[in-house]
Amino acid sequence: MNFNRRRMLQGLTAGFGAALSASFMPSEAFGSISKPSSMKRIIFFLQNQGFEPGTCIPDGMKNSGGLANAKLPEPIEALEPFKERLHIINGLHGKHTSPSHSPFFGALGGYRGSDGVPPSGPTIDYELSKVSPETLLPHLCIGMDSIENMRAKPTVANLSASGAGQPIFMHSNPNHLYQLLYGGISEGGIRDQHEARSSMLERIEKMSSLEGKAVPSNDKNRYEQYVRGFEDMNGLRERLTKVSSHLKKFAPEVDERYTNPEFETDWHDTLLDLGISALKSGTTNTITIGSGRGEIFGAWKGLGVEKQGHNLGHMKQKDNPIWIKIRQYNCRMLVKLMEQLESVPEGNGSMMDNTLIVYTSNNADKQHTNGANWPVMLLGNCDGAFKTGCFTQLDGKRPINALYNSLLRVNGVAGDRFNMGDAMAKKYDSGIGPLKEILT
């Protein structure tokens, strides 16, 4: 992301006085963009294996209408007290993304994707991170999976991208993420590991920079991206160290769930806690959570679910006790996000008043889907920008790109389409511009 780091650090220094007061607003301490926006932060939560509409649409609701007198289905019943903040959308499509098992980057990019295929453009979460109030870490991606996969692959890139061929990695090992965010303020073993890792990354950066001089010209751009990745990582560690006194107030307590997890859900929970702490501290304003990490894997043994991975996708989700447990677990996470953000004052309200949560799947409505229906739930209205407390049934003729265009429009970004040219739109989009059904 291109932003003026010197200006941002000057904003950091100026904001420390506010950070010590009870009325501290995270976006103020970490600088802000000149254009006001009702959406100061956004969270994307994508559950793999699809989001069957029967698990979120109240029984008997066939047409658009209010949720006040409706009873939410069992899988999402945890959201019942928050119905006035909820908007359930059915009838968007993603046929052009070629999902099948997953379109991977295409789920948030709104373009054709597949396993092993690099992103063909930026994804919506990255684009929104560019226009949100500036932070030290513009975009945090978290990946939840089986404990074996999270240990073997602590980072993986499947969902988010900053541009064509430029994937953004998800953090899946909470110990590594904790070291990144809070290693500079920790003591004992965590501090030692943080310093050792920082020293190693600095050496790799220098070595990579030197070695890059001998790289063939056709590989030079790719290698320069690799070097910049180490520069950004090392720069982030340095910047986080500069605000250590502020971060101490938000660092979660490290317990056995980090070092000796009984189930993978222990790590899922700690990753969520770290994401919440990064939002509340103002370290980031954009988070993407991939439950299943955008693939066909994933495990929830901590919920009493023994089946995992690909087999879960071959089960119908509606009225399935296994999927009820998984979806309820997701919704408890959504509730925790809302309650934690509601607890922090911001402006005339709370952080949640200026936050939007987008919950969906990276795989439309089911595994082996053609993407004809892509259910989505929105939580939050961002100071009245979005309609809430309702269900909207669309006709299946507008793509997920139209939703993403709507999110950009709320942030003042001009344009009638997101990642969709005229030829593609002629085939896959019956309208133009944002979804009027979701905006006030």
Mean pLDDT for back-to-back runs of 10 residues, the chain (440 residues): 35 28 39 54 97 97 97 98 98 95 96 95 98 92 97 95 94 93 67 49 47 51 47 66 85 94 98 97 96 95 94 93 98 98 96 97 95 98 96 98 97 95 97 96
188: left (phi over 0), alpha (psi -120 to 50) or beta: left
DSSP 145: -
CATH number for the domain including 62?
3.40.720
Dist. CA 17–CA 329, nearest whole Å: 39
pLDDT at 188: 57
The residues near 179 (Cβ < 8 Å, ≥ 6 apart) are 186, 190, 193, 194, 197
Backbone angles phi, psi at 386, to 5 degrees: -115, 145
Question: Maximum CA pair distance of the chain?
Answer: 68
Does 196 reside within a domain?
no
DSSP 100: B
Q: Which two tokens stand for residue 330?
A: 């997701």
Does 185 reside within a domain?
no
Find tokens 């934690």 and name the residue: 340
pLDDT at 97: 97
Q: Detail the DSSP E strand segments found in 309-421.
A: 345-346, 349-350, 355-361, 376-379, 390-399
pLDDT at 223: 44
pLDDT at 234: 54
Dist. CA 124–CA 105, nearest whole Å: 10
Range of the domain at 88: 5-174+254-428
Task: Report whether 312 contacts 322 (CB < 8 A).
Answer: yes
Single pTM value for the model: 0.85
Does 330 reside within a domain?
yes
Q: Which two tokens stand for residue 106?
A: 């295409």
Does 435 reside within a domain?
no
Task: Report whether 57 contacts 73 (CB < 8 A).
Answer: yes
Find tokens 């990490």 and name the residue: 293
User: Taking Cα atoms as reference points, which of 53, 100, 15 lies closest to residue 367?
Assistant: 100
Dist. CA 125–CA 165, nearest whole Å: 16
pLDDT at 236: 75
The residues near 190 (Cβ < 8 Å, ≥ 6 apart) are 178, 179, 182, 183, 254
Does 437 reside within a domain?
no
pLDDT at 232: 55
Backbone angles phi, psi at 346, to 5 degrees: -155, 120
Does 335 reside within a domain?
yes
Dist. CA 296–CA 311, nearest whole Å: 9
Number of structural domains found in the chain: 1
Does 436 reside within a domain?
no
Taken in order 362, 363, 366, 368, the sign of the CA dihedral is negative
Does 246 reside within a domain?
no
pLDDT at 21: 31
